[in-house]
Amino acid sequence: MDIWTSKRRLVVGFLVLGGVGVGLAAAQVNASSHREAPFITTQPKLDGTDFYLFNSYETGRSGFVTLIANYLPLQDPYGGPNYFQLDPQATYSIHIDNNGDAKADISFNFKFTNTNQNLSLPIGRRTVAVPFINVGPITTADQSALNVVETYKLNVVRSGISQPVRNAADGSTTFTKPADYIGTKSFPDYPSYAANYIYNINIPGCGTAGRLFVGQRKDPFVVNLGEVFDLVNVSNPLGATNAEADDLADKNITSLILEVPTSCLASASSPIIGGWTTSSNARGQQSRLANPLVNELVVGLKDKDTFNSSQPVQDAQFLPYVTHPTLPAVLQLLFGSAGVQAPTLLPRTDLVQVFLTGVPGLNRPPRVAPAELMRLNTSIAAVPASQQNNLGVIGGDNAGYPNGRRPGDDVVDISLRVAMGKLLPADKAPSGQLPFTDGAFVDASFFDQSFPYLKTPIPGSPNNTP
């Protein structure tokens, strides 16, 4: 029997946890995905935008998992003169829970340092510092014209013990982030330049080398953003999946990308892992993200900041947003005259499984503390890019979302359809089988088929080098 049509059961333990008396355990200094919470608009460098977690589908890389955490949203490529450096006062983290208790068993912590090279020019009898990030072309062989060098360290934390990840080539613990793609004159061959900062790494406790890249990429998230938040102002929410524009088509992002041996992440008792990403500074946790669109389309406005400052193990406080979601009701308000109806089956145990526990037979751990995590069954083999279905599990591809998330999974369309009752019986979800879409199409062909998967960023200046 298909896992989606199996009997759905209410997660009683979670409903009990969701009762009266759950307090707010974190200060409200918070943020997340593509400006989705009010507070994060004041500190975009800490804004986590997307999280990807999937079995590596590059040829020859079975037995590895790729993790991608994206930060600093809506980067206009021409956004000079300072462009998009990350915050050296912050810690950017990717967390893995491998025993189902909604607590981090493994954390990968990134810390950045930005070094001003103080490039100067003789002006008359004075030597004067220049105001630019670069004063000439930059290549793999010659970077003397680069005025700011971004470096970072990566530590892996288990049981409170932090150990440095090392460059497999020389044993060093300091890595370099390539400068942002200022333009084609500054970077005559940016793809080659950036590829120089893909590292083979040794992760303590893993034995087998992984891979690492941190740098600017073309934003992989595809969404008809403006129209969606203008009361779903699309020409036809049941029309062609490629009828509308991708509002992020001209935006870049900053990506933290890791490839880690599966054996380093999954426990001996279960192949299922849960993951999420955070950013923190001296004021506490500022951003939190696992499944896409949860804080944007599920959590109520008054609790968006609270969600991003809290830990997954505290998620009982947000249970009503999942069991009684408002998005379907809003869509019925907007398109009810066209026959769109919200599901009538409440509480929404199907959404509890997708977002909070994992789906039985797919990615639910043997023991689980319900929490909003991205869950991946590492024993389900990766599907080559050419064979992936961009609707993931509801498209018959169990290697895709919500079993982890690959870059080519159309999570907007998937989320719209699941919210409207795709997984429910027809009599409880009259619109559940309708092909809801934001009209912005994406699939695996939009991305590279090898690490780091995400495309070269868009240059700030499109002019060719004279």
Q: Which residues contact 268 (CB under 8 A, 6 or more apart)?
A: none
| pLDDT at res. 14 | 36
Contact 166, 153 (CB under 8 A): no
Residue 24: its pLDDT value, please? Answer: 25
Q: What percent of the chain has pLDDT over 90?
A: 81
- pLDDT exceeds 90 at position 177: yes
On whether the CB atoms of residues 392 and 403 are closer than 8 A, the answer is yes
425-to-83, 233, 326, 354, 422 alpha-carbon distances in Å: 50, 28, 19, 16, 8
Q: How far apart, in whole angstroms, are the C-alpha atoms of residue 273 and residue 378? A: 7
Question: 221-256 as b/e, with b when 16 or more CB fall inside 10 Å?
Answer: bbbbbebbeeebebeebeeebeebebbbeebbbbbb
394-425 pLDDT tens trace: 999 999 999 999 999 999 999 999 999 999 99
pLDDT value of position 15: 35
For the chain, the domains span: 47-115+128-420
Q: Kindly report, residue by residue over 104-134, the tens digit of the pLDDT.
A: 999 999 999 999 999 999 999 999 999 999 9
Determine contact, residues 371/312, Cβ cutoff 8 Å: yes
pLDDT digits (tens, 9 = 90+) for 283-316: 999 999 999 989 888 999 999 999 999 999 999 9
The mean per-residue pLDDT over the stretch 193-211 comes to 92
pLDDT > 50? residue 17: no
Query: What does the alpha-carbon distance between residue 362 and residue 370 come to, in Å, rounded to a whole number?
Result: 16
Q: What angle do CA 182, 186, 189 make, to 5 degrees?
A: 95
Q: How many CB atoms lie within 10 A of CB 267?
A: 15
Would the pLDDT of 103 be above 90? yes
Flag whether pLDDT at 26 surpasses 60: no
Q: Encode pLDDT of 446-462 as tens digits.
A: 999 999 999 999 999 97
Q: Residues 6 or more apart from 190 whose CB is under 8 A from it?
A: 181, 184, 456, 457, 459
CB 257, CB 452: distance < 8 Å: yes
Q: Quick one: pLDDT at residue 465?
A: 53
| pTM above threshold 0.85 | yes
**Residue entry with tokens 């990615």:** 363
